[in-house]
Amino acid sequence: MRSTIRRWVFAATAALVLPTVVAPAGRAIGQDDADVGQAWDRFDAAFTALAPSTSFLAAEVMDGECRPVHGSAPDRRVAIASTFKLYVLGELARQVEAGLASWDEKLAVQERLKSLPSGNMMYEPAGTKRTLRHFAERMIADSDNTATDHLIDRLGRKNVEAALAAFGHGAPEMNVPLLTTRELFTFKIAMTPERVDAYLAAQDDEQRRILETVVDPISLPRSGYGDWVAPKRIDSIEWFASAREVCRVLATLHEMTRRPGLDPIAEILELNRGAVFDARTWPDAGFKGGYEAGVFNLTWLLRRMDGRWFVVTAGLNDPVSYIDQHATKALMLGVADLLADWDRGGSARNP
């Protein structure tokens, strides 16, 4: 067991109450197994202390499936912020495979679909034409919100909603109607609490009408976020998935990269490594994160140097405070160490 694991295990977690967790899979029982189990226990204690609601899964990806290595509340659904864009990429890939779209298809930037940062496509003049692949690249590499909303409009909101179930989400109705990023910003910074309450109380069809006739026509500022300086309605105006569900969408996308014409998926996902997983041990890494006040998500698709693929996904929610991003990323360094050593020369098994 690497000394880096021991440097990562924080003594400050020793007094914390440890939750029940998924045990590491694929190892013989022995001293190393005990060391790894204790390291994961300490990870759980530190991770769950970061926010009131958390969901974590580290899994090996095999044949389009997630085979758990370790989880902490992996089935708890939390707000995931921009990580929902993986489902948009999935629907784009599905339509490309079905001949309903193509990576090289040109799409014009529209003023009505411009959102707020992150991303710079909001500054491109209306009428500028870019390929669907370009929009997808910016959506994943830069988490570009304007690129995302253009793709949702082109693919069809209901089609993206359907993609959640197709890519393994167990409760897609939680995200119906699927909000565009512009709509989320509008709810958070440009609508009264009473109007937001009226939307949340409505049925799906009425919510769709409100989005089209009330929310979408509202102009957003080109910069600034008004009084949105703390977590705001993260349990209702957001996008939701569990760590296991996020793993499923990435595992499916990974499997799709092997199909004819869908290899750009891998190149798009790997435009952003996410900085935590060292390239010497993890030569291929794709990252998608999500953030708003009170919401933080970190998700990776990783190829280890021995050719085995893994997903690591961590979601944290706090309805009243900001998430400590620095501490969360520091914990992910420990996960990198644990997975680098996990089950060398063996094969994954479900725990």
- Report whether 85 contacts 148 (CB < 8 A): yes
Q: What gap in Å lies between CA 337 and CA 332, rounded to an integer?
A: 9
Of 51, 42, 53, residue with least CA distance to 12: 42
Per-residue pLDDT, 225: 80
Average pLDDT, the chain: 90
- Report whether 50 contacts 316 (CB < 8 A): yes
- 67 class by beta-carbon count within 10 Å (0-12 exposed, 13-18 middle, 19+ buried): buried
Instruction: Examine the pLDDT at 262 and tell me if it is beyond 60.
Output: yes
Instruction: Examine the pLDDT at 321 and tell me if it is beyond 60.
Output: yes
How far, in Å, are 57, 300, 337 from residue 243 at the CA level?
A: 6, 11, 20
Domain boundaries, the chain: 3-78+238-257+272-341, 81-215
Query: What distance, in Å, lies between the first and last C-alpha atoms of the chain?
Result: 21
* Residue 237 CB contacts under 8 Å (≥ 6 apart), including other chains: 179, 184, 187, 188, 196, 200
Q: What gap in Å lies between CA 156 and CA 92, rounded to an integer?
A: 10
- Report whether 328 contacts 117 (CB < 8 A): no
In this predicted structure, which of 222-226, 237-241, 313-317 has the lowest mean pLDDT? 222-226
Instruction: Examine the pLDDT at 313 and tell me if it is beyond 70.
Output: yes
- Provide the angle, in degrees to the nearest 10, between the axes of the packed helices 325-341 and 31-48: 160
In this predicted structure, which of 95-104, 135-144, 149-158, 342-351 has the lowest mean pLDDT? 342-351
Per-residue pLDDT, 33: 64
Q: What gap in Å lies between CA 263 and CA 254, rounded to an integer?
A: 9
Per-residue pLDDT, 19: 33
- pLDDT level of residue 245 (50, 70, 90 thresholds): very high
Q: What would the mean pLDDT of 189-202 be, rounded to a whole number?
A: 97
Give per-residue pLDDT as tens, 108-119. Answer: 999 999 999 999
- Report whether 35 contacts 341 (CB < 8 A): no
- pLDDT level of residue 36 (50, 70, 90 thresholds): confident
Q: What would the mean pLDDT of 312-336 be, rounded to a whole number?
A: 97
Instruction: Examine the pLDDT at 151 and tell me if it is beyond 50.
Output: yes
State both tokens at 153: 């409009």
Per-residue pLDDT, 168: 97
Instruction: Examine the pLDDT at 101 and tell me if it is beyond 90.
Output: yes
Quickly list H helices, 190-315: 193-201, 204-210, 243-256, 264-269
- pLDDT level of residue 223 (50, 70, 90 thresholds): confident
**CATH topology (fold) of 81-215:** Beta-lactamase (3.40.710)
In this predicted structure, which of 22-26, 43-47, 275-279, 283-287 has the lowest mean pLDDT? 22-26
Q: What gap in Å lies between CA 97 and CA 262, rounded to an integer?
A: 7
**Tokens 């997630």, located at residue:** 66
Sign of the C-alpha dihedral computed for residues 326, 304, 58 and 88 taken in this order = positive
- pLDDT level of residue 164 (50, 70, 90 thresholds): very high
Per-residue pLDDT, 32: 62
Instruction: Examine the pLDDT at 30 and tell me if it is beyond 70.
Output: no
Q: What gap in Å lies between CA 71 and CA 242, rounded to an integer?
A: 11
| Eight-state DSSP code of residue 237 | S
Amino acid at the residue 189: I
Instruction: Examine the pLDDT at 28 and tell me if it is beyond 50.
Output: no
Q: What would the mean pLDDT of 70-75 be, rounded to a whole number?
A: 98
In this predicted structure, which of 3-12, 38-47, 212-221, 241-250 has the lowest mean pLDDT? 3-12
